[in-house]
Amino acid sequence: MDTTLTIHVAGRADEISPKTMAKAFAAFADLLEAPDDGSHWTMVGAHLGSLTLEARPSARSAEEERAIFDTLVSGLSFFNESGEAPESWSPQGRAAVRALRELTTAPGVEGITAAVPDQTIVFTPVDGASEPESRRRVSIGSVTGVIDRINTRQGCEFGLIDEAERHPVKVLFSAAQLDAVKPLVGKRVRARGELTRNAQGWKTHLRLRKVEVAEKPDRVPPLEELFGVLGPLPNGVDAEGIVQEMRRA
C-alpha cells in the first residue's frame, strides 16, 4: 500500500510569497516528526505552482514503514476529527499543525490539505478569538483592485492585488452575494467590510459587506492646483480643526 504523505498548498504561484512557501515546508518537516518516536521520512517530491510536498517513511522493512506511516496518519485523523493535535505529539509537531492552519489565510493561499490514501485532512484557519491580539487586527476597511478570479470550492472568495499595498488580498463573501460578485470579474472594484491585518500590519483578508465598481478618475489634479481650494481659513482654526468639523457633519 502507498505510504506517501502529501501536503498541498493550493493557490497561484505568482501570488504566494516565497516566505509562505518556506514556512509551509518547515511546518511539513516538523509534522513528519510529530509522533516524536525517532522515525525518519524521505522527501519523494516537491512541486511548485500550487506547492506540493511529498514524503514516505524511511524504514528497513515494509512492516516498519507501514507502522511509521500509520502512527502519523492516526494523529492526523485525530486532528481531522477534533481540530486539535494529539497531546502525545511533540511541541514542534503541535506547532506545525497550528502553523499550517495560520498559513491558510496567507496572501495567495486558497487552502491547505494533507492527503494520504483514502483520506484528506483539511487545515482550517485558526479561530480568530484564540489568536493573540498582537498577531492580528480586525477593523472596518476597504481594498481596491481588479478581481482576477472567484473561488467557490471551500466557501466563496475572490482575490485581487490591493492597489494601496500592492500585494494579494483574499476577499471572503457569502453564497448570497455570488450573483452580485460574478459580473465584476476583471473589473476594478472597491470592496468594504471587516478587514484583517497580520502581525506585520499587512492586509490579509476582508469579509465582504459591500463591493462596487471603482472607476479611475480621468485626471488627478496636481498639488499646486489644490492650494487655496478651501479659501482663507477662519481665525484660530487650522486644517486639522476643519477635518474634525467635516467628520462631525
Q: Calculate the alpha carbon distances from 29 to 17, 71, 132, 187 in Å.
A: 19, 16, 25, 40
The amino acid occupying position 43 is M
More confidently predicted of 228 and 119 = 119
Cell of 128: 480568530
pLDDT at 113 over 70: yes
Q: CB under 8 Å to 53, separation ≥6 — which residues?
A: 6, 7, 24, 25, 28, 43, 45, 46
Going by C-alpha positions, the residue among 109, 124, 138, 112 that lies closest to residue 198 is 138
Cell of 162: 490591493
pLDDT of residue 191: 95
More confidently predicted of 200 and 245 = 200
Cell of 244: 474634525
Q: Calculate the alpha carbon distances from 44 to 5, 39, 58, 97, 143 in Å.
A: 10, 16, 11, 21, 40
| Rounded CA separation 36/89 (Å) | 6
| Rounded CA separation 223/2 (Å) | 66
pLDDT of residue 120: 87
How does the average pLDDT of the chain come out, rounded?
Answer: 82
Q: Calculate the alpha carbon distances from 49 to 53, 70, 172 in Å.
A: 12, 29, 23
Q: For residue range 62-87, list pLDDT tens digits in order.
A: 999 999 999 999 999 888 888 888 88
| Rounded CA separation 211/215 (Å) | 13
What DSSP line would sit under 80-103, residue for residue?
Answer: HHHSS--TTS-HHHHHHHHHHHHH
Q: For residue range 207-231, list pLDDT tens digits in order.
A: 899 999 997 765 555 655 555 555 5
| Rounded CA separation 180/176 (Å) | 8
Are the CB atoms for 162 and 143 separated by under 8 Å?
A: yes
Q: For residue range 123-173, list pLDDT tens digits in order.
A: 888 755 444 444 567 888 999 999 988 988 767 889 898 888 888 888 988
Are the CB atoms for 175 and 133 separated by under 8 Å?
A: no
pLDDT at 26 over 90: yes
Would you place residue 243 in the very low, low, confident or very high pLDDT band (cuts 50, 70, 90)? low
| Rounded CA separation 168/180 (Å) | 21
